């Protein structure tokens, strides 16, 4: 009996020891879990802090992964197992380049500890550095610099005249005389002063006369500059505008009796086309209004798309086909083109039709 009791006691002791060992886990304890870098200049470069931790468990601690919430935060950490009572560290660096303003980022620490996931946080505020002239005015027009190399009038009514300006910066050590080689007839352009001093600034003023342009829809042009008498076609500024018909003078009754443009569909997928083949589709335009619908203009986004409406004046209740032919010559892969139809429908004067296909070689 005593022999059996001894065996039972020994078994219980071994079983308890195994169970305790199975339940034992490392315990990760950080000196801190948050760090604020405070306010610092962007030019100060990468900022780094270290989060130290201690394994207060009874078995080795292993960091499985340390993952930052964004690429601007780069962690480095202790890779080898950390023995009970020993310390490890996680080094976190933040790159402020081109990231002005306040920030708060997290680093997720995953381990075999009894608390398997711990979140560390870094924060601070980056003071924006003073930008260089090249960054403020990134576009070059010959020897001049500008924020952009184009002027957009966005939308303009067909009888309106609008003016926009553009700063021109002379970042050289010599004055630059600015003239114009070529300006479209419906556009007026002038620079003040006409000679921009070294390290100085001039203002280009462009006036767009939509009535004189004599068109509707999107229109783009170029103004060619002459710098110190040199006529280089690379020294140019783009000018664009979307010209709309002016319906503001129509009375409520005229609007109620106006034409209404309605398409059976506004997009088509021609599917697979062998390179060089032509795809065709016919859209149907119906006038659901009470007066004649006039097709003012039809534009395609590229010369590869030909459009031919059967007629330009559509009676009330009448429908007309608009045939679109897409030439896939020289194209490959997924293609998407647009056709813009402009009418005298005051509520919906511009409709964009979309044509797509997949060109196989």
pLDDT in tens, 186-221: 999 999 999 999 999 999 999 999 999 999 999 999
Q: Which of 127, 145, 162 is the last residue of a domain?
A: 127
> What pLDDT is stored for residue 201 in this prediction?
96
Query: What distance in Å separates the CA atoms of residue 285 and residue 282, rounded to the nearest whole number?
Result: 10
> Residue 29 class from Cβ within 10 Å (0-12 exposed, 13-18 middle, 19+ buried)?
middle
In the prediction, which pLDDT does 147 show?
Answer: 95
What pLDDT shows up at residue 16?
43
In a domain, residue 18? The reply is no
Q: Could you tell me if 149 and 237 are in contact, meaning their C-beta atoms sit under 8 angstroms apart?
A: yes
Same-domain pairing of 299 and 260: yes
Q: How far apart are CA 329 and CA 252, in angstroms?
A: 49
- Say yes or no: 119 and 183 in one domain: no
Specify the number of domains making up the chain: 3
Residue 1 reports pLDDT greater than 70: no
Burial class (CB in 10 A: 0-12, 13-18, 19+), 242: middle
**Chain centroid to CA 91:** 33
Domain boundary among 204, 221, 244: 244
The Cα–Cα gap between 341 and 350 comes to 6
- Is 60 within 8 Å of 24 (Cβ atoms)? no
In a domain, 66, yes or no: yes
Cα–Cα distance, 212 to 222 (Å, whole number): 16
The answer to whether position 1 is within a domain reads no
Alpha-carbon span 314 to 318, nearest angstrom: 6
Decide if 7 is inside a domain. Answer: no
Predicted pLDDT of residue 83: 96
Position 134 pLDDT exceeds 90? no
Q: Which of 133-137, 174-178, 308-312, 324-328 has the highest mean pLDDT?
A: 174-178
Is the per-residue pLDDT at 307 higher than 90? no
Q: What is the CATH number of the domain that holds 200?
A: 2.60.40.10
**42 occurs within a structural domain:** yes
Please give the order of strands across the beta sheet that includes 176-182. 150-157, 230-244, 217-227, 176-182, 195-196
Least confident piece of the model among 5-9, 119-123, 178-182, 354-358 = 5-9
Residues 75 and 157 in one domain: no
| pLDDT at residue 64 greater than cutoff 90 | yes
Instruction: Decide if 311 is inside a domain.
Output: yes
Q: What pLDDT, on a 0 to 100 scale, did the predictor assign at position 361?
A: 86
Residues 230 and 315 occupy one common structural domain: no
Say yes or no: 28 and 111 in one domain. yes
pLDDT at 65 over 50: yes
Euclidean distance between CA atoms 122 and 69, whole angstroms:
11
| Average pLDDT over every residue of 286-311 | 89
pLDDT at 22 over 80: no
Q: Are residues 166 and 89 in the same domain?
A: no
Q: What is the pLDDT of residue 253?
A: 95
Last residue of a domain, one of 127, 145, 179: 127
Q: Is residue 5 part of a domain?
A: no
Closest of 166, 213, 156, 167 to residue 187, by C-alpha: 213
Mean pLDDT across 260-268: 95
Residue 14's pLDDT band (cuts 50, 70, 90)? very low
The model's confidence at residue 304, banded by pLDDT at 50, 70 and 90, is: confident
Give percent of the chain with pLDDT exceeding 90. Answer: 82
Instruction: Answer whether residue 11 is part of any domain.
Output: no
- Tens digits of residue pLDDT in 236-249: 999 999 999 999 99
- Strand 150-157 and strand 230-244: the pairing is parallel
What does the alpha-carbon distance between residue 326 and residue 307 come to, in Å, rounded to a whole number? 9
Whether the pLDDT of residue 337 is over 90: the answer is yes
Residues 143 and 237 in one domain: yes
Binned at pLDDT 50, 70 and 90, residue 8 comes out as very low
User: In this predicted structure, what is the pLDDT of residue 11?
Assistant: 47
Query: Residue 314 and residue 170: Cα distance in Å, rounded?
Result: 55
Q: Are residues 263 and 211 part of one domain?
A: no
Burial class (CB in 10 A: 0-12, 13-18, 19+), 175: middle
Q: Tell whether 267 and 229 lie within a shared domain.
A: no
Report residue 34 CA to chain centroid gap: 33
What pLDDT, on a 0 to 100 scale, did the predictor assign at position 140?
94
Domain enclosing residue 209, as ranges: 133-244
Provide the mean pLDDT of the chain: 90
Kindly indicate the confidence band of residue 85, based on its pLDDT and cuts at 50, 70 and 90: very high
Q: Which residues contact 83 (CB under 8 A, 6 or more apart)?
A: 55, 60
- Do 282 and 237 fall into the same domain? no
On whether both 58 and 145 belong to a single domain, the answer is: no
Cα 316 to chain centroid, rounded: 43
Same domain? For 31 and 121 the reply is yes
Cα separation, 278 vs 292, whole angstroms: 33
pLDDT at 309 over 90: no
Give the mean pLDDT of 300-304.
Answer: 84
| Spatial distance between the Cα atoms of 124 and 126, rounded to a whole number of angstroms | 7
CA 12 to chain centre: 69
């Amino acid at each position: 009996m005593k022999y059996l009791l001894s065996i039972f006691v020994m078994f219980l002791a071994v079983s308890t020891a195994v169970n305790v060992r199975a339940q034992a886990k490392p315990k990760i304890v950080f000196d801190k879990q948050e760090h604020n870098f405070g306010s610092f200049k962007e030019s100060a470069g990468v900022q780094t802090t270290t989060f130290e931790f201690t394994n207060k468990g009874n078995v080795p601690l292993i960091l499985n992964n340390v993952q930052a919430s964004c690429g601007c935060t780069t962690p480095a950490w202790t890779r080898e197992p950390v023995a009970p009572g020993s310390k490890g560290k996680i080094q976190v660096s933040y790159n402020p380049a081109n990231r002005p303003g306040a920030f708060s980022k997290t680093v997720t620490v995953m381990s075999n500890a009894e608390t398997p996931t711990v979140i560390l946080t870094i924060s601070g505020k980056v003071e924006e550095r003073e930008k260089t002239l090249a960054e403020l005015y990134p576009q070059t027009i010959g020897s001049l610099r500008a924020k952009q190399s184009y002027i957009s009038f966005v939308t303009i009514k067909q009888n309106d005249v609008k003016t926009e300006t553009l700063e021109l910066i002379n970042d050289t050590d010599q004055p630059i005389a600015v003239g114009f080689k070529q300006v479209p007839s419906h556009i007026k352009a002038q620079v003040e002063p006409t000679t921009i001093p070294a390290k100085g600034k001039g203002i280009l003023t462009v006036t767009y006369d939509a009535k004189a342009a004599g068109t509707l829809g999107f229109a783009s042009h170029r103004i060619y500059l002459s710098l110190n008498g040199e006529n280089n076609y690379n020294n140019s500024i783009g000018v664009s505008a979307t010209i709309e018909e002016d319906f503001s003078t129509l009375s409520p009754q005229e609007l109620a009796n106006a034409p209404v443009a309605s398409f059976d569909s506004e997009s088509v997928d021609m599917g697979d086309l062998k390179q060089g083949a032509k795809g065709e589709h016919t859209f149907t335009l119906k006038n659901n209004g009470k007066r004649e619908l006039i097709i003012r203009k039809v534009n395609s986004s590229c010369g590869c798309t030909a459009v031919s409406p059967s007629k330009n004046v559509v009676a009330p209740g009448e429908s007309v086909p608009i045939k679109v032919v897409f030439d896939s010559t020289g194209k490959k892969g997924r293609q998407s083109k647009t056709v813009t139809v402009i009418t005298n429908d005051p509520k919906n004067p511009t409709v964009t039709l979309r044509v797509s296909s997949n060109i196989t070689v």
